[in-house]
């Protein structure tokens, strides 16, 4: 696991401490966490065996990293929230929600974490950013300042909590995660730290 700082910008008013598990260098690149793409399964219908194998790979890294995050930030009883997929939850099949289900299962197995995985729910579709460049982003808007508040419902249970926000892949300049962190702070979170399973690494970085 590696640490980094998410810098304040137009969408985020303060620096946030971030953690990530592995580098994301591109689909089928050597060492790339392709299991994240399999779990998204936006277009490809993977077999149940492939999906379960991908889910197991994800859970292995979560079980390894999340206790380290809790220890590193020295905050007891971190409440785990998840950046929701870009469409309303009801539009996805159960096979497309395995990332969320994996986090639920892992959080319940770690005593120092509390389950807040349903505290953020997408109620209005947004474009899927990693598909938008190819014309398959779907309905809704691309990221803008305040899109999280406009497209999601935030539970009042967030108020006063130390939040660990989790996403599958962090990509600098997209600002989805930054906007979601700010929305959590505005919703009353006491503090926010961030963990991504993978962080996009560009050539030359």
* The model's pTM: 0.92
Phi then psi dihedrals of residue 197, to 5 deg: -60, -40
pLDDT by residue for the chain (205 residues), tens digit each?
999 999 999 999 999 999 999 999 998 999 999 999 999 887 778 999 999 999 999 999 999 999 999 999 987 689 999 999 999 888 898 999 999 999 999 999 999 999 999 999 999 998 765 544 554 344 656 679 999 999 999 999 999 999 999 999 999 888 999 999 999 999 999 999 999 999 999 754 4
Complete domains list, the chain, with CATH: 2-200 (3.40.50)
The DSSP result for 108-146, as a single string, is HT-TTEEE-TTSEEE-S----HHHHTTT---SSPPP-TT
């Amino acid at each position: 696991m590696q640490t980094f700082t998410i810098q304040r910008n137009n969408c985020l008013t303060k620096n946030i401490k971030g953690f990530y598990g592995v580098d994301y260098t591109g689909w089928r690149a050597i060492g790339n966490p392709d299991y994240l793409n399999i779990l998204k399964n936006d277009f490809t219908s993977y077999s149940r065996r492939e999906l379960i194998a991908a889910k197991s790979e994800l859970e292995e890294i979560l079980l390894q990293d999340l206790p380290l995050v809790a220890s590193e930030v020295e905050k007891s009883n971190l409440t785990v929230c998840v950046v929701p997929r870009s469409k309303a939850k009801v539009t996805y099949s159960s096979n497309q929600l395995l990332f969320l289900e994996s986090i639920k299962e892992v959080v319940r197995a770690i005593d120092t974490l509390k389950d807040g995985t349903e505290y953020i729910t997408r109620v209005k579709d947004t474009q899927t950013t990693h598909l938008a460049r190819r014309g398959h982003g779907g309905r809704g808007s691309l990221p803008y300042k305040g899109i999280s508040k406009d497209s999601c419902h935030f539970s009042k249970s967030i108020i006063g909590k130390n939040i660990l926000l989790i996403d599958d892949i962090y990509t600098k300049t997209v600002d989805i995660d930054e906007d979601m962190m700010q929305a959590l702070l505005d919703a009353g979170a006491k503090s926010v730290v961030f963990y991504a399973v993978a962080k996009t690494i560009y050539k030359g970085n």
